[in-house]
A and B are shown apart, each in its own frame.
Chain A
Amino acid sequence: MALTGRFVLLVALGVVPVVIAGLTGAPEAWLALVGWLFVVVGAGAVDLSIAASPRRVAFARELPERVRLGEPVASVLVVQNLGGRTMRATVRDGWEPSAGVDGANRTRLVIPPAERRRMTLRLVPVRRGDRRTAQVTIRSAGPLGLWARQATLAAPGRVRVLPPFHSRVHLPSRLTRLRELDGRTPLLIRGQGTEFDSIREYVRGDDVRSIDWRATARHIDPEVPGNARLMVRTWRPERDRRIVIVADTSRTAAARIADEPRLDTAYEASLLLAALATHAGDRVDFLATDRRLRGRVHGATGPDLLARMVDTMAGIDAELLEADWSLVPGLVRQVTSRRALVVLLTAADSPGSSRGLLSMLPQLTSRHTVVVASVADPALIEAGRQHDDLEAVYRAAAAQRGLDDGERVAAAIRRLGGQTVSASPPELPPALADRYLDLKASGQL
């Protein structure tokens, strides 16, 4: 049961009869007060007794399966009145706060018996993952709108909010660079990281050193007997390399740098790299792990890859666990037995917390090319430049110490045969993509 503002107003109006009666005497005023309360409560009770039951309803939901973080989504709820009375309902859909219901989430519906009404809420989710609603609360007021019946009913719903992939703005420029490397602009120079593409006829401007004389001898010009056509070899960058992206979801990934958790930056970088690599014809696998395998995308290509990656990422959040790096070589071996590019997205910022990573790294570098990508904290660099007062100096010293630690870990990684990429959150995805392109161009995949 619930009261409405109208009922409270009605109670307040009782001051008029009480004052009027009070002009004749106190007992009359008391009598007027009691009488008024009887009238008001009676009206409320009558109103309540003829309100429609909020329990006799059926729901249907219309929800999109997925939505990208930051984009609005329309949540449609169809309420059907199964009772025999007209329902004057106020409806609250029990979305999680992170689902970001726009407005007050109080929808007024008037539903005649056996009819349906559709209500639409605009959601702007503020957090990725599965945003759920479990219940709908209906407050059904009587025709006078004094008292209302209230019930909460089960009406589960779910929207999967995908990572935003802001870094896709960097994709076109990287694809252009890729195309320059790729077979669509065939290379005439054999270099590292290239494989034989085709033999085609010489056109003016080709490097004479790339003429394949044996092929030329086999290609007799049919129009001019005795003359051979000059054939040249073309090359293209290697394709069908394996790339394994390992995202660390342990406690270090929970750290919030420049208002973005490390894990989200890692997701952005993974998505950009995956999009680029799948365009380049490489095969990408994604693993998320801390002390156990949290998510895995294996054997997907093209647009399906990105869709499955964002779907996998959506539900994974950082946990306060120390990462177990000894798992990673085994996981990588399950994905591929061939040489691969292994990208570890983690935090390599202090020797203490990176010990596990460093002890595991030789197992990977002996078989694979390893890139350790980590987020650098721009606040540290900024703090290192401030020398205004004593507090700032101490802070600068501490920041410098932090940067040195990170540098020391990076040096250790390089000594163990890995490569490092470190950049601030907005710059890490393009930096990682550039490193991939460099590796591809130099044939180190």
Chain B
Amino acid sequence: MSPPATTSLEAPPPTAPDDPAAPAGATALTPTIRATLRRRRIWIVFAALVALGVLAINLIGGTARGGGPLLGSDNAAPGGAKALVEVLRGHGVDVTPVDSYDLALDAAKSGSTVLVYDELGVLTADRYSKLGLYADRLVVVAPDFVALEALAPGVRLAGFASGPLDDVACDVPAARRAGSLSDGQGLLRVDDDAAADGWRGCFRDEGDAFAVVTGEGRGGEITLVPATTSFENGRITEHGNAALAIGLTGASERLAWYLPGPTDAAAGEAPTIAELTPGWVSPVLALAVILTIAAGVWRGRRFGPLVAENLPVQVPAGETSEGRARLYARNTARLHALDQLRIGSIGRLAQALRLPRAVDVASLAEAVAASTGRDPVAVRQLLVDAQPVGDADLVRLAGELGDLEADVRARLAPETGPGRRP
């Protein structure tokens, strides 16, 4: 780019602001920020109202039924367990929500009943064993494979019950009081070794599986309830769900309601990336992100609006001919194509031989044969009669037509051409 020339002009004579000779400023096409705000006022108000509405709905709905975790002790949604917790508190049970393993372990050591519901499966076998060792009474809701292996080897997951269960089949007081359970229960199967270890099931279904399994662990009593149904706000009133849930959790004065939290999830043994890298790496990465945004704004900011231009319509002229050629090719119109070429050749040959435009082909063929010394029959064959039997034949005939024309021209040209001049 060659920098455009700029030259300085002498300053115009100083003018008073109200001097009529003062140049009028150019009209700005870009609206000012204030004008933009004024023009978009309705939309801005509308957006603000929508934002307020969403906020209000969230606030109200959040207290009413909010999302919250499944079986959350203060979650009033159908999947929460606030109903059970409030009832327990109403009966004088000291319910403590716990979200870290250490607190849960402390509670277990101090003699609380511990309810564990590990929705995301973050607890390790080691931790389950430890809980089972220290807790006097441990209720594991929806135990996963790890939990079963650690606490009750020999008890296996066995799918889901197909309907309500009313075969109590054991003498656990809570189960006796409940009498029956609603549908939606998970099932566990107790094998012979486990049965020998003292594990027994309650609420048998048609198979040999149970909706509640209790037994003596190494530390205290352990109850396994494979489904959350009996504890959920939405289902606790069905059948004997409430009696079972209250009976299992309200047996002692204190209850630790343990849902593993974020601190338990990241409790891996390996050090995190943040611990391995120097302190400045994360801020520099953040700076890089900011830098990218700034550079994007720098390069992406348009220098004024795009300039529109009306362009004239222009059509490539060869399209018609190309299209016609493709049409011939698709229909393999060999004879038709060859005839077109012949018509052209005949016209040019007649012109070269100074014959009238409307000469008949037979006499033209004779004239051509006479001037080139070719066989008249062969020439006539080429110019009229031959039919192309295949693609190769068509190409050959077209080539021969071209050769014939060149031949005639060569025969006629030498009389004036420089080569034969004496």
Task: Enumerate chain A interface residues (CB-CB to B < 8 A).
Answer: 2-5, 7-8, 11-12, 14-15, 18-19, 21-30, 32-33, 36-37, 55-60, 78, 80, 82, 90, 92, 94-98, 102-104, 106-109, 112, 114-122, 127, 129, 133-137, 139, 150-155, 251, 254-257, 261-262, 317-320, 350, 377, 379-380, 383-385, 387-391, 393-404, 407
Residues on A with C-beta less than 8 A from B32 are: 55
Q: Mask for B1-26, Cβ within 8 A of A = 1, else 0?
A: 11111111101101000000001111
Q: Mask for B191-228, Cβ within 8 A of A = 1, else 0?
A: 00000000000000000000000000000000000000
Closest B residue to A110 using CB positions = B6
B57 within 8 A of A: no
Q: A15-B284, A118-B6, A152-B304 are in contact. Are A22 and B23 (CB under 8 A)?
A: no
Give B272 Cβ to nearest chain A Cβ, in Å.
Answer: 12
A351–B310 Cα distance when bound, in Å, is 32
Determine if B328 and A394 form an interchain contact, defined as CB atoms under 8 angstroms apart: yes
Determine if A116 and B11 form an interchain contact, defined as CB atoms under 8 angstroms apart: yes
Determine if B287 and A22 form an interchain contact, defined as CB atoms under 8 angstroms apart: no
Determine if B25 and A152 form an interchain contact, defined as CB atoms under 8 angstroms apart: no
A-B contact pairs, 12 of them (CB 8 A): A29-B279, A29-B284, A58-B23, A58-B25, A117-B6, A154-B29, A379-B317, A380-B321, A387-B341, A393-B341, A401-B321, A404-B344
Partner of B340 from A26, A136, A152, A404 at Cβ < 8 Å: A404
A118–B11 Cα distance when bound, in Å, is 12
Residues on A with C-beta less than 8 A from B394 are: 390, 393
Residues on A with C-beta less than 8 A from B27 are: 153-154
Residues on B with C-beta less than 8 A from A96 are: 307, 309
B34 within 8 A of A: no
Q: A109-B6, A256-B317 are in contact. Are A137 and B303 (CB under 8 A)?
A: yes
Determine if A319 and B324 form an interchain contact, defined as CB atoms under 8 angstroms apart: no
Partner of A379 from B290, B311, B318 at Cβ < 8 Å: B318
Q: A106-B303, A120-B5, A152-B304 are in contact. Are A404 and B343 (CB under 8 A)?
A: yes
B329 within 8 A of A: yes
Give A75 Cβ to nearest chain B Cβ, in Å.
Answer: 10
Residues on A with C-beta less than 8 A from B278 are: 22-23
A134–B249 Cα distance when bound, in Å, is 80
Residues on A with C-beta less than 8 A from B301 are: 2-3, 150
A15–B286 Cα distance when bound, in Å, is 10
Determine if A94 and B304 form an interchain contact, defined as CB atoms under 8 angstroms apart: yes
Task: Enumerate chain B interface residues (CB-CB to A < 8 A).
Answer: 1-9, 11-12, 14, 23-30, 32, 274, 278-284, 286-287, 290-291, 294-295, 297-298, 301, 303-305, 307, 309, 311-318, 320-322, 324-329, 336-338, 340-341, 343-344, 347, 391, 394-395, 398-399, 401-402
Partner of B286 from A33, A106, A318, A393 at Cβ < 8 Å: A33
Residues on A with C-beta less than 8 A from B26 are: 57-59, 136, 153-155
Known: A12-B291, A32-B283, A97-B309. 17 other contacts (CB 8 A): A8-B294, A21-B280, A36-B287, A57-B26, A97-B307, A115-B8, A115-B12, A135-B305, A151-B29, A154-B28, A317-B312, A318-B313, A393-B337, A397-B336, A397-B341, A398-B327, A398-B337
Q: A3-B294, A255-B316 are in contact. Are A389 and B395 (CB under 8 A)?
A: yes
Closest A residue to B305 using CB positions = A152
Give B412 Cβ to nearest chain A Cβ, in Å.
Answer: 18
Determine if A30 and B283 form an interchain contact, defined as CB atoms under 8 angstroms apart: yes
For A5, A129, A155, A384, the residue with the greatest tally of chain B CB atoms inside 10 Å of its CB is: A384
Determine if B344 and A150 form an interchain contact, defined as CB atoms under 8 angstroms apart: no
Determine if B30 and A134 form an interchain contact, defined as CB atoms under 8 angstroms apart: no
Determine if A256 and B314 form an interchain contact, defined as CB atoms under 8 angstroms apart: yes
Residues on B with C-beta less than 8 A from A127 are: 312
Give A148 Cβ to nearest chain B Cβ, in Å.
Answer: 9
Residues on A with C-beta less than 8 A from B23 are: 58, 60, 80, 82
Closest B residue to A56 using CB positions = B25
Closest B residue to A6 using CB positions = B298
Residues on B with C-beta less than 8 A from A117 are: 6-9
Partner of A393 from B12, B315, B395 at Cβ < 8 Å: B395
Determine if A92 and B295 form an interchain contact, defined as CB atoms under 8 angstroms apart: no
Q: A30-B283, A78-B9, A152-B304 are in contact. Are A135 and B4 (CB under 8 A)?
A: no
Residues on A with C-beta less than 8 A from B5 are: 119-120
Determine if B340 and A400 form an interchain contact, defined as CB atoms under 8 angstroms apart: yes
For B2, B303, B311, the residue with the greatest tally of chain A CB atoms inside 10 Å of its CB is: B303
Residues on A with C-beta less than 8 A from B314 are: 254-256, 261, 318
